[in-house]
Chains A and B, each alone.
Chain A
């Protein structure tokens, strides 16, 4: 349906609410890529068959990532008048028994993780009560949503809809306040007001150095020229990190809405959503979101009768990590190889086809509807002094509860690893956490009291980057990890500048020698010198940050390097000569 204003949006919202909270059973199956890799698609098919077989009325719906990856496949059941029950480890084999219990109006206690009495709708301040207060007491033994250690310290505002809505249903998105921020922005606010609000909120770019988004927008909006562009950067690419992928697969509209608002703020009429290759489910869901948004009139001409026109094109990359870098990304969209260039000029002034362009990371944009609806004051009350808001992380590796989490910035690593993550599995000891992917660094156990924000991480030799948190145990060799990262970067270097093209390759060669017990005693000094000169001499951030993992592991695990070089031994038992 076409949405022209408040009334229409309300109708869309109500359709969505009826879908989200129907007066029959609603069964939701987590269907993001990693859920599917654990058999969620078979679970979904199985549930549909069982429901049909038993002949009871139920909507079986795919939802995005619930974040409880350690318990996937997850299934949630809403039965009218009863608390929502979240189930975990529902393999295809367990489906018949689960549906038998659900069909009888009951709960399969053995596999139930927790119950939820009410769902906050967040954006418009409302909530939906699944059941009457106190109904949860019937299932006394089953913990409440607010009591789950994995969830207690999280704050899901970017992931507000992930795992709750069908990502391909725009009505369900609207039900939870979706597109109300866009309505407010284009009908009640002027572009400059929006820029001011985002600046006041303290929103920092979520893909690297954390550059203030408001300043970037201001710079672009003030730049000369009528034609401006906005690009949503979804080219995560860091090996082993899937937050952005999860976000796109779970709530593509939140990204799109943020992007449309940003376009309005800077005066862009055209935008590009760049998704790196290999994200087929995310691409599919984003394309559907764009199509539906167009149908509803959130994209196109005279959006919500505001006079603002904006169209978006989804572009799939060809497969190059360097295209995550702004200037290389521009080249890729222009149809060329991902060639970075020197800055200035900055893309905000001269970007896509020489026009002022704002390039925002997907997570940055997902924050925008929140800031518009809830205000800068609310947003800046979350997080730490200089790092406002929350951050989505992929908590993976040697941790009991691996998953997609969202925490307020300023939380300590200890809290993430132990309170949320449940600590290290039995028999293993915590060694370090790798943060910031290939541009970041390792933080050793001794620094686990560190708070997670841009400045503290940088000081410790790591980085926020796109948000990977890889927990490593004593069986991880830091020399091997660095060799792995350098090999990755070596393969992804675009090849334009000498320090990266040749320097990273030669660094990796020396690291390989060290890992094979062929290191020479001057190697550490050589590597340190190379690291410094690559950082200073490389053209773009791929090269400039390439030495970071080496520098951080050298800082905290120098002994390991020395063991490899002097004693030809790998303490973790990983490297073989």
Chain B
């Protein structure tokens, strides 16, 4: 791993007082920096905090907000909450999966532009079905609207 990355991680560890009890916050910050949790980063954290690598991997694979795979440029979150489900949120998720050429295992599009994830609830139940792309939330999304939404982010 490049020394530049190491110093960034050192910074994160220092921010959290090198406290192994703050592992989840530490991993979140590492993911914030790297876009995902690279193996080398986790090995480095394990070494510096003196926490077994197996424990770090356990935590990284337990919580759904962590990704061990590099993510696409844009994060697409489809709400799979109850209201969204009842309003056919699954169809939206399926359409997105098709448009982005994804599969059950592949959650990032081949051109690395988008990563799709299903989130449990975005709190936008009254505007179900809801989709979020990065920081933008879209309510009452229809299958037809999807391409238009994706187009916006392809441009940037």
Q: Interface residues, chain A, CB within 8 Å of chain B?
A: 32-34, 36-38, 69-70, 72, 236-242, 245-246, 277-279, 315-321, 332, 334-338, 394, 396-398, 402-403, 434, 437, 468, 470, 472, 476, 481, 484-485, 488, 494
Chain B 27-60, CB-CB to A under 8 Å as 1, else 0, gives 1100000000000000000000000000100110
Give residues 119-146 of B contacting A (CB, 8 Å): 119-128, 130, 137-139
Q: How far is the CB of B52 from chain A (nearest CB, A)?
A: 12
CB closest chain-A residue, reference B65: A319
Chain A residues closer than 8 Å to B80, beta-carbon distance: 239, 488
User: Contact: A279 with B20, CB < 8 Å?
Assistant: no
User: Contact: B24 with A470, CB < 8 Å?
Assistant: no
Q: How far is the CB of B82 from chain A (nearest CB, A)?
A: 3
User: Contact: A316 with B25, CB < 8 Å?
Assistant: yes
Q: How far is the CB of A238 from chain B (nearest CB, A)?
A: 7
Interface stretch of the complex, out of B6-14, B83-91, B93-101, B108-116: B83-91
Chain B residues closer than 8 Å to A472, beta-carbon distance: 86
User: Contact: B120 with A321, CB < 8 Å?
Assistant: yes
User: Contact: A236 with B139, CB < 8 Å?
Assistant: no
User: Contact: B127 with A69, CB < 8 Å?
Assistant: yes
User: Contact: B120 with A242, CB < 8 Å?
Assistant: no
Closest 7 CB pairs of A and B: A240-B82, A318-B63, A242-B123, A240-B81, A69-B126, A319-B65, A37-B137
Say yes or no: A38-B139 contact (C-beta < 8 A), given A241-B82, A396-B83.
Answer: yes
Chain A residues closer than 8 Å to B126, beta-carbon distance: 34, 69-70, 72, 394, 396, 402-403
Say yes or no: A38-B127 contact (C-beta < 8 A), given A241-B82, A317-B63, A484-B82.
Answer: yes
Bound-state Cα–Cα, A320 to B137, Å: 22
User: Contact: A239 with B120, CB < 8 Å?
Assistant: yes
A-B contact pairs, 26 of them (CB 8 A): A33-B122, A34-B125, A34-B130, A34-B139, A37-B122, A37-B127, A37-B139, A72-B126, A72-B127, A237-B121, A238-B82, A239-B85, A241-B121, A246-B123, A277-B28, A277-B63, A278-B119, A316-B28, A317-B63, A317-B65, A318-B28, A319-B66, A335-B22, A337-B58, A338-B62, A398-B86
User: Contact: B120 with A470, CB < 8 Å?
Assistant: no
In the complex, besides A70-B126, A278-B122, 4 extra interface pairs with C-beta distance below 8 angstroms are A240-B125, A332-B24, A396-B126, A397-B86
CB closest chain-A residue, reference B125: A396
Is the CB of B23 closer than 8 A to any CB of chain A?
yes
Bound-state Cα–Cα, A472 to B83, Å: 9
Say yes or no: A335-B138 contact (C-beta < 8 A), given A34-B126, A318-B65.
Answer: no
The total of chain B residues at the interface (CB under 8 A) is 38
Contact of A239 among B55, B81, B124 (CB under 8 A): B81
User: Contact: B125 with A241, CB < 8 Å?
Assistant: yes
CB closest chain-A residue, reference B140: A38
Chain A residues closer than 8 Å to B28, beta-carbon distance: 277, 316, 318
Contact of B20 among A69, A278, A335, A338 (CB under 8 A): A335
Chain B residues closer than 8 Å to A397, beta-carbon distance: 83, 86
Is the CB of B148 closer than 8 A to any CB of chain A?
no
Q: How far is the CB of B156 from chain A (nearest CB, A)?
A: 18
Is the CB of B64 closer than 8 A to any CB of chain A?
yes
Bound-state Cα–Cα, A335 to B84, Å: 32
Bound-state Cα–Cα, A437 to B85, Å: 13
Q: How far is the CB of A472 from chain B (nearest CB, A)?
A: 7
User: Contact: B59 with A476, CB < 8 Å?
Assistant: no
Chain A residues closer than 8 Å to B65, beta-carbon distance: 277-278, 317-319
User: Contact: A34 with B82, CB < 8 Å?
Assistant: no
Bound-state Cα–Cα, A319 to B83, Å: 20
User: Contact: A240 with B24, CB < 8 Å?
Assistant: no
Chain A residues closer than 8 Å to B127, beta-carbon distance: 34, 37-38, 69, 72
User: Contact: B64 with A320, CB < 8 Å?
Assistant: yes
User: Contact: A34 with B123, CB < 8 Å?
Assistant: yes
Bound-state Cα–Cα, A237 to B123, Å: 10
Q: How far is the CB of B99 from chain A (nearest CB, A)?
A: 21
Q: How far is the CB of B35 from chain A (nearest CB, A)?
A: 16
Q: How far is the CB of B127 from chain A (nearest CB, A)?
A: 5
Chain B residues closer than 8 Å to A33, beta-carbon distance: 122-124, 137
Contact of A319 among B23, B64, B124 (CB under 8 A): B64
Q: How far is the CB of B41 from chain A (nearest CB, A)?
A: 16
Chain B residues closer than 8 Å to A338, beta-carbon distance: 62-63
Bound-state Cα–Cα, A237 to B80, Å: 11
Bound-state Cα–Cα, A245 to B19, Å: 29
Bound-state Cα–Cα, A240 to B81, Å: 4
Bound-state Cα–Cα, A434 to B125, Å: 14
Bound-state Cα–Cα, A62 to B107, Å: 36
Say yes or no: A318-B27 contact (C-beta < 8 A), given A34-B123, A394-B125.
Answer: yes
Q: How far is the CB of A557 from chain B (nearest CB, A)?
A: 15
Q: How far is the CB of A229 from chain B (nearest CB, A)?
A: 13
Bound-state Cα–Cα, A246 to B123, Å: 8
Contact of B123 among A279, A335, A485 (CB under 8 A): A279
Q: How far is the CB of A16 from chain B (nearest CB, A)?
A: 27
